[in-house]
Structure 1
Amino acid sequence: MSDSTANSNSNTTASSTAPEGTTHSAVDIDRDGNVDVVHGTTADGTAINSYLDDAGNVVLVEGDTDHNGTYDTVVYGGPDGTTIVESDSDDDGSADVVAKLSADGDVIQIDGVEHGQVVSSAMDVDGDGNLDVQFVDTDRDGEFDATVFDADNDGTPDTVVHDTDGDGHADQIAYYGETDTPETDAAEMDTPEMDATAETPDTTGYEQTDPTGFDGF
């Protein structure tokens, strides 16, 4: 992710100080008379860049939330009014966690990413605002082999299904709490046909250069 240190460059820049110590700088990168980027710094030192299209709509926001000089969080619009939030917790330039929010702001999916590959994916499958099921690639072979269900939304797994040999069939099923045991043989259950790389939302992370080609402020 990009360096958050400001510099003057040769672009048109206008700065202002907002209440409570927050500062803003508007930059017209291509000199077309429209603001392309708004750089802001909050009172606690968090640097935020907002990128605008020609109509003035914010299309991407990046922030340096840990104040170490590198942008570690990126927010942008997804399909059907959703919002995608990518977090690079180790500052290696690639997303480690990718979350998808609904148009109402509810978290509907959280993906854990390692080396550009989704290794876990928690989803709200019934649209109640709670994450009900999680798929996990335990052996990092690119395919989900464990499924965790939380049917009562108490934050504790109710059922865990594990395909230990990678044949697509459940080999182990564990039940927790007061969950009723279904009359189903583990050998007859198939694990979900999901590839761990099937729907990776920009898992390469946000690269070191800004999408506009602007290298910082």
Structure 2
Amino acid sequence: MFKLKNVDIGYKKKLVHITDLHVEKGKLYALLGKNGSGKTTFLQTLMGNLAPLKGEYLVDGKEIQALSKREKMRYLSYVPSKFYGVEHLSVRELIGMGRAPFTNVLGRISQRDNDKIDEILALLKIEHLQCLSTQKISDGERQIAMIGKALAQEARAIILDEPTAFLDYSNRLKTIQILKEVVAKKGVTVLFSTHNLDLSLNYADNIISINKEKEFEVFEAGIAKELIIEKVY
């Protein structure tokens, strides 16, 4: 799905080099790296918000910078590490915001949109939260609702920037399990950055690491924890 070849990423000057990276459809990827290694810069490049300094970045064979904003929304959805909620925005309305690529110029929600929202609420098992304010639910519930918004967008890939950073262990585990289920049931590509090595090794199909030399390496599930620590940390 994503192909990056001989790509330098960074703001004005190179931060990380990618020799050859292929992110496949329908897999769960964990992105590991030390603080300051370039994880967020890489995610912003994937989203098309930051142009590569050099090299080729293709999404389904199309140059990312050639895509319109609306086309990018069909390919890529984004979940930040923290969402604080909005007092008068319900969980259902938040998920409905993900339908923006499909609504008319007035942004009105159709019956098809409502059906999709119902489907996502059921998939994520948060029907009981749908009428609650996004400020009145827990951090873990808000993060799951944000995943629901990304799903409503029906993009081919979901990119998450440290989605478990502010959660306790049980909610970290629940969030990663939900992402695993989303990949299995929806066939989308999910890529999340994290510092949680154990959860990554237990649930991700592949691990993308930024090593000490500021280069990318990809490991399949089952890689030894000690090897990751040696190369990355």
TM over 0.5: no
More helix by share: 2
Of the two structures, which has the highest relative contact order with CA contacts closer than 8 Å and spacing of 6 or more? 2
* Larger Rg over CA atoms: 1
TM-score, reference length from structure 1:
0.29
TM-score, reference length from structure 2:
0.27
